[in-house]
Each structure stands twice: as C-alpha cells, then as structure tokens.
Amino acid sequence: MRNHVSRVTSAIRGFGLGMLAMYLFDPDVGRRRRAFVVDQFESARNRLTHFADTAYRDAVNRSYGIAARLRPGTGRLQPVTAHQVEERVRARIGRVVRNSHALRVQARDDGTVVLSGPVLANEVNRLMSAVWSVRGVTGIEDQLQVHEQPGNVSALQGALAHEGRRGAGMAESWPPSIRLLAGVAGGALALAGLSRNRPLGMLQALLGGALVTRALANRKLGEVTGMSGPRNVHIDKEMFIAAPPERVFDFWQHQEDFPQFMRNVEEVRPTGEDCWHWKVAGPFGPVEWDARITEREQNRRLAWHTVQGAPVESEGRVDFEPAGEGTRLRVSMDYAPAAGAIGHAAARLLRRDAKTEIDEDLMRVKSFLETGVAARDASARRAAEDAQRLH
C-alpha cells in the first residue's frame, strides 16, 4: 500500500511539473506567460508584506484589548455611553450588511438602539443578530424599511437581492491575525504530510492545504470551491471614452457586434425582445448561455441578468455618465465561476478570467469608439483570418 501511494504521488508530481513546463515554455506565448507569472509573484509578495504588517498590528491591538479586559475594574459591568454604543453598532453592522451606509443608528441612554433606513430582507436576521451582540445594547427599536429587491432604491443599488451572492458570507471572515496563524499552521501541516509517503501523510497534507486555502481566501471552503454559499466574483471597472454618451450607449445596445471587439466571444445573437444568446470560447470548448436585458435607461444605464439554468450565472449593469466631451463608463458585474474561487484563480492564472477579459475588451471598445478602427485580435477577426488560411 505504501509503495502504491508513493507511485501515485510521484505520478501526480510529474504530471504537474510537465503541465507547468508546457504552460511556461510554449513557443508562441511562453514568454508572455513567464512575464505574467513574474508579475503575479511580485504582486503576491507585496500583498503578503502588507498582510503581515496588518496581521501584526491586529495581533498587538487584540493583545492590548485582552489585557484591558483582564485588568481589574474593566469588567462587563462598566457603564457604556450612548455614543459608544452607536459607534460599536455601526462598526459591527458594516461587517454583515453590504449597504450599511444606508442605515441610520441612534442609541438612547437606556441602551435601546433605533435602526432605520432601507435594507434587504435577506440581511435583516444577520443585522439583528449583529446588533444584539454589541455590549451595551439592551433593546432594538425596528424602524427599518425592508425590501425584497433593490428595485429603484438608490441606497441599495449594487446590493444583490438574494442569498448566495456576494456579501452574504461577510460575517464568516477571519481577522488578519487569525488568518496568519491558520495559514502558518496549515502550511506546516501540509509540508509535514508531503514528507510522509503514507495514507495518513496524504490526509495530513490535504487538511493542511484546506486550512491554508481557508486562510488565504478568508471564506468558507464550500464557498471557495463553489459547492455552497456565495460563489460570486464581483468586478467593478471604470473608464473614460472620448465619445458622447449617445454613441457609446448605442454601441452597447447592439450586442450582435460584440464578437468584433471581444476576443473570446464567438457569437451573440438575439433570441427575442431584449434576449440574447451568447457563445464564448472556454478552456475546454465553447460555453453558451442566454441573457436578458432587465433595465434600459436611454443613454444612462443598461442592466442584464442571465436566465435561470444558465451554465454561467452573471448579472450586472453598465452606467453611461457624461464627462466633459466624453463618457464616463462604469461596469459593475457579479458572476459565478464554475468551480468557485478556485476556478476563478485558475482562470486568472491562464488569463481567461472575466476581469482580465473585460479589461482587454473594454480597451478595444474604447479604441474603436475613439478612432473608428476595429480591433485586430478579436474573435470575429481571428476566425475570418483562419478561414482565409484554410482556403
């Protein structure tokens, strides 16, 4: 059994090294991929340095807090002012409600907290639990305006209207010091397991890897793998285009032209009123889905949502704002990768994730609207060149 496990482990390592070599030393795009990997490592190093500094300060502050609590005379019976209660409640609800800025908090001298303002229905229970957990709160007066959908409530714009979307798992995040401790412990456990060619060692390595993944992603493992909870990746993009909003908006309405500017979009065709069928090149073959325009405000906003059962779930909006002689374009989008955060990370490494593609595609759109020259590396142009070569 031990020899079999050793052979399986060696085969996995060899396969992984072979795939890595093929990816990095591809004769056509290997140089660009190696440069991209170097950039990613540099970015990761900077983020890790910043995170270590944040974790250190968090650990120090928590140590001071624990010491203060253990000091005589600082027990739970110490009086708390209404202002302190208000500030504590505001800090706490910011972790569990995405649009916490829309809520108004007022604390009375007797410890009663008055909550008012618009909130989504699926956030009410988390909100109430968070407020009750604040020391000094003796009661809650509910004056909230509960909405099932964001609708036309400006304060709720950008909030996703149902469970399982971004923001639902905010209360499950770990503080920086705990993440650092869990990451170090998980890494040590994984390395110890990999050094043992036994089934117990493999289990140990898996547990360590899971702990490291949980610490890095700061989300539940089910959410990271896309098996449960909020699976969405949120993207915000803003760009200035030297063209009037009317022209930019008109271009965005004609989605059948998108393959000329979007490198991996093979086809977009209308299937009904405000309904479109998309066909996009994927790492393992084309992926197709249907989407519907859900909001259309002439020269100001377009919003969409994929239909139920689509293999790629997404929703978002594009805002067109006049800016001098041009247009300030704002894209806000949420999409669910097939394998959760892990699938998004893998796609990002291959530069096939939605954020990278949107960045590149928007630059092509900007160039076309400003110069009138279509992109040369878009899907439609590439397909036409392939067809010419075949003939």
Residue 320 DSSP SS3 = strand
Is residue 111 over pLDDT 60? yes
CA–CA separation, 363 and 353 (whole Å): 16
The reply to whether 233-390 shares the fold of 82-172 is no
Question: Considering only CA atoms, which of 221, 223, 242 is closest in space to residue 233?
Answer: 223
pTM of the model: 0.49
The pLDDT of residue 208 is 87
| CA distances in angstroms from 173 to 176, 179, 219, 223, 326, listed in the order given | 9, 9, 6, 12, 41
What are 339's two structure tokens?
Answer: 């394998």
Those residues with Cβ within 8 angstroms of residue 209's Cβ, 6 or more apart along the chain or in another chain: 186, 190
How many CA atoms within 13 Å lie on the side-chain side of 91?
9
Q: What is the mean pLDDT of the chain?
A: 78
The pLDDT of residue 284 is 63
- CATH level 3 topology of 82-172: Histidine-containing Protein; Chain: A; (3.30.1340)
Average the pLDDT over 111-117 and give the result: 91
- CATH level 3 topology of 233-390: Alpha-D-Glucose-1,6-Bisphosphate; Chain A, domain 4 (3.30.530)
Is residue 36 over pLDDT 80? no
pLDDT tens digits, residue range 311-357?
Answer: 778 888 999 999 888 999 998 888 776 555 555 555 555 555 667 77
Residue 188 DSSP SS3 = helix
**Domain coordinates of the chain in residue numbers?**
1-69+174-218, 82-172, 233-390
In the chain, pLDDT over 90 holds for what percent of residues? Answer: 14
Average the pLDDT over 381-385 and give the result: 50
The pLDDT of residue 389 is 46
| CA distances in angstroms from 265 to 127, 181, 280, 290, listed in the order given | 41, 43, 4, 13
What are 130's two structure tokens?
Answer: 């968070």
